[in-house]
Amino acid sequence: MQNGETYRSLESWLWEAACSIRGEVEAPKYKDFIIPLVFLKRLNDVFDDELLNISESRDVSLAMVNADHKLVRFYLPEKTRWKNLMDQKDSLGEFITTAMRDLARENNRLQGVVDLQDFNEATGGTRTISDASLKKLLEILNQKKLGLNDIDADLLGNAYEYLLGKFSEGSGKSAGEFYTPREVAELMGRILSPGPGESIYDPACGSGGLLIRTYGAFVGKYGSDSTLDLPKLHGQEINRLTYAMARMNAIIHDIDADIRIGDTMERPAYTNPDGSLMIFDKVTANPMWNQNFDPESLEKDHYNRFRFGIPPKSSGDWAWIQHMIASSRKRVAVVLDQGALFRGNREGAIRKKIIEQDLVECVISLPEKLFYNTGAPGAILVFNRAKSEKSKNRILFINASNQFGKHKEIRKLNQLYPEHIDNIVNALESFETIEGLTTVRSSEEILKQDGNLNVTLYVSQINDEEQIDIRNVLSEISDTDLQLKDIDKKLDSYLKELGYLD
């Protein structure tokens, strides 16, 4: 970073942009207007940097790029260039909408990504966001340069994800569904620990955070300048706007990711030419918890995904798990509501069959209040089709319910700190019993417990408070009473000697 930008300064800048439209625009819709414009600013500044790299003369560079669009990552038509947006006086919302659509027409990779939002939209004849507010928003975004020579891609990407998190915070259930808190995503990425060239898949990818953090786990392990083959990222998302955010998120991080749109359960986007399900090395997801499903549609599945059973209509947790297992070659990590660990009936029957197949590797109970849209503690379930000798026919339970600190920004939330993530990852890697944190049990023993995977059934937290021995306390009270009686006798004796008592 040549201009010394910091993560905090970027946070403040992005939040100032959000606050500029507060009141006029409802909080859940902030992202629809701000995120595409931040993305467009990044594209413009990178475009300018690339022109400078081609020739010292901007006019010469533009002539060359106009003749061959492949000279730049993304070609920006005249109307989409930032200066023209800043200079626009009238009908700004309509102008931005047209510019975004021109951008998508010129760049196949951006179709369905930047051209979804109507910046001129109105309800009942009233604009969602006025031209005056759009102008103010552009002016704030214009304060910083986001080019290749101005800011590190990962730093900008992290600030971008900060904005996604702020949109989720306090914005209701629907807003929280597209965003997994960064620390949870980092933990999931390190659990998957992708190797060189491995394929990573998220069937409910939301805004892409889990895929990006899994990629980050590779960089953390092998280095950003590694000559090894990079992991290959794949994701599917059902919501159009969230799909667009995931695509933008990957591009801003300067990561190549294949994100596809569609309903994973009804129409999985990744299939082979023969119609079979595509298989990936590692699979991760934070799907909607306790999602309603139509059991009949699952029974008609053409991909043999639900061979362990059909879950109840009220909760599709074990449908997601079965899809992920069917799509995996090695390890799977999924975060769900803790009820998925112990609910009975259909879910219990599915769970037992999966345990019998020795697919469950680890169960981690998380602290409460980690997620924006629920205070309930989640759980990470780790499955593995390629277990090590040490973990065969065994399951590791990690009680991480006390591995947290208070959130550094949001008072009502808790947060995983780096040391907590390290503790959990190290415990998984050691696969040994650690008093108060982990235990290892045989699959046979768990089946005797009716397939119950509730972590607290197997791992009790160590109580750091001093244990009280009631007998000792009663004895001490008795001794104190005797001492008081002895003191009373001595005091009476002294008072008699002084003539105060007869």
Q: Which carries the bigger pLDDT value, residue 221 or residue 472?
A: 221
pLDDT in tens, 156-215: 888 877 777 777 665 544 444 557 888 999 999 999 999 999 999 999 999 899 999 999
Domain residue limits at 111: 7-151
235 pLDDT higher than 80? yes
Which of 151, 180, 204 corresponds to the end of one domain?
151
408 pLDDT higher than 80? yes
For 84-108, letters b (16+ CB in 10 Å) and e give ebeebeeebbebbbbbbbbbbeebe
Do 476 and 453 lie in a common domain?
A: no
| Domain tally, the chain | 3
Both tokens assigned to 232: 């290959």
Answer for the pair 362, 382: CB distance below 8 angstroms, yes or no: yes
Q: Is residue 156 part of a domain?
A: no
Do 144 and 170 lie in a common domain?
A: no
**Whole-model pTM over 0.75:** yes
pLDDT in tens, 159-169: 877 777 777 66
pLDDT interval class at 2 (50, 70, 90): very low
Which spans in 327-372 are helix H?
345-356
Do 307 and 214 lie in a common domain?
A: yes
Q: How far apart are CA 43 and CA 478, in angstroms?
A: 80
At CA 398, angle to CA 389 and CA 314, rounded to 5?
105
Do 116 and 177 lie in a common domain?
A: no
Do 95 and 218 lie in a common domain?
A: no
pLDDT in tens, 126-156: 899 999 999 999 999 999 999 988 888 877 8
pLDDT in tens, 88-103: 999 999 999 999 999 9
Both tokens assigned to 53: 């790299």
Percentage of the residues of the chain whose pLDDT score is greater than 70: 88
Q: How far apart are CA 310 and CA 254, in angstroms?
A: 40
Do 432 and 378 lie in a common domain?
A: yes
491 pLDDT higher than 80? no
Do 414 and 485 lie in a common domain?
A: no
